[in-house]
Every structure is written in C-alpha cells, then in structure tokens.
Amino acid sequence: MRIPAHSVCTAIRDDIVAGVYERGSRLTEELLARRYGVSRVPVREALRTLEAEGFVVTRRHAGACVAEPTEQEASDLLEMRMLLEPLGASRAAQRRTEAHLKVLRGLVRLGQERARRGNSEDLRSLGGWFHETLTQSSGSHALASTLTQLRHKIAWMYAVESPADPVESWAEHGAIVDAVARGDSERARAITALHTERATVVHRLRFPGGGDRQDRVRTSQHAVNMTGLRH
C-alpha cells in the first residue's frame, strides 16, 4: 500500500498546528516515516508542500525544520483573513446552493442554542464548521483553499479566547446567513467584516517556550487517516 503524500502532509501539518513539533525543531524524513508508518517518499513530498505553505523551512546543515514566523507575519495573516472572509460571504450570497444554506442554518441554530447554555468548547468547533461552510458556499476553490490555509496557520500562531458575548457572536452568524439567503452580497460582506474584526480581538499570539528546542517532540497519538485508501 502506498500512502498518498497529501495524507502524510495533513498529519504532519495537524501536528505542527497542535504544537507536537516545536518551532525551529528538525523534521527528519526517517523519523517522520517511522512515526506515521510510511516510506520516506511521501514524507519528502509532504515536506515540500508544507514548505510552500510556510509551515516548514529548509536550513543549511539542518535540513527541514518547523518554521518560526515573526510577529509581523502572524499579524499579516489576521489582516488577510479580515479581507478575505467578507469576500467569501459576498460571493456566497451570489453562489450558495440550497444545500449550503440548509447546513448554515442548522449550524446557526445549534450555535445559538449552545451559546445560551454557555458551552464554549462546542461553540469553537461549530464556529469553525460555520466559517468553513460559508467559504465553501462562495463557489471559489481558490478562495476556499486560501482561507483554509490561513485558518490552519492562524490556529498555529494564535490562542483564541472565547468571545465576551457568545450569544451576540452567534446572532452575527445568523445575520450573515440571512443576508446570504436573500442574495444581499453587500450586507453579507459588511456583517462578516464586522464579525471578523471583533473575532480578531480575542486572538493572543503564541510565543515559543525557552530552552533547547532542537529535535524536541511532544507525544502524539496522531496517525495518518487510512480511510478510503486501497492497495
């Protein structure tokens, strides 16, 4: 069985975002291949993809290492998201399908219910699904791909606190869906811009810990998803 490089790439990326591999730590093909139960070929391909995405850098005499983004680079990501999320909502108002709308409305109902109960963990997951679905509703693969990559990197670089008023936050989600359902692209863009700006306030930059970080890896149970793979 040959494991696709994209499955290996997803596994390594998820572990980088989760902090399993610390910033600046080395990523050797041999160790990664053993860790994920694959050959070195898909690992090599995955590292090239992750380097193009900005999660990995190649250093002289060290090889592939986890990147160490600057505060400015991290800030730029939030600014990019503030520009692209409203664009996605505007496009969704023009291109969404009834299936997209059904899912969005369902997520808003769940989110508003959980917000009233104060279940912050559920809200974080539901919020992620909501914005992912909204982006998919834009009908733009390029935009969806870019925003997905931005979200991965923001999750890696920032810790996110719960919003001060989750009920209000989910009311904004509901207003976005209402605008999308009516095909009002300008209102969808405006509400999403306000919502994204408010969400940015609760992001706190993660700083790498001190000490010798070379080759240090935390324990992980992450494995490559084998679902759907065939000989």
Least confident of 5-19, 87-101, 117-131: 117-131
For residues 93-101, average pLDDT: 97
- The residues with which 56 forms a beta bridge, in sequence order, are 66
- Across 205-218, b (16+ Cβ under 10 Å) vs e yields eeeeeeeebeeeee
CA 211 to chain centre: 28
Q: Is the pLDDT of residue 228 over 60?
A: no
DSSP H/E element including 164: none
Q: Is the pLDDT of residue 222 over 50?
A: no
pLDDT at 3: 67
> Would you say the pTM of this structure is higher than 0.85?
no
Planar angle of CA 42, 12, 84, nearest 5 degrees: 110
* Residue 163 DSSP one-character state: P
- Give the E-state strand segments of 28-141 in sequence order: 56-59, 63-66
- Give the E-state strand segments of the chain in sequence order: 56-59, 63-66, 158-160, 203-205
For the chain, give the mean pLDDT.
Answer: 87
- Give the E-state strand segments of 105-212 in sequence order: 158-160, 203-205
Residues with Cβ within 8 Å of 121's Cβ and at least 6 positions away in sequence, in order, are: none
Q: Is the pLDDT of residue 225 over 90?
A: no
pLDDT at 60: 87
State how beta strands 158-160 and 203-205 pair. antiparallel
Share of the chain above pLDDT 70, in %: 87
- Across 141-173, b (16+ Cβ under 10 Å) vs e yields eebbebbeebbbbbbbbbeeeebeebeebbbbb
Q: Is the pLDDT of residue 213 over 70?
A: no
* C-beta of residue 128 within 8 angstroms of C-beta of residue 158: no
CA nearest to 54, candidates 7, 17, 88: 17
What tens digit of pLDDT does each residue of 147-188 get?
Answer: 999 999 999 999 988 788 899 999 999 999 999 999 999 999
CA 116 to chain centre: 26
Q: Please, which pLDDT band fits residue 4 given cuts at 50, 70 and 90? A: confident
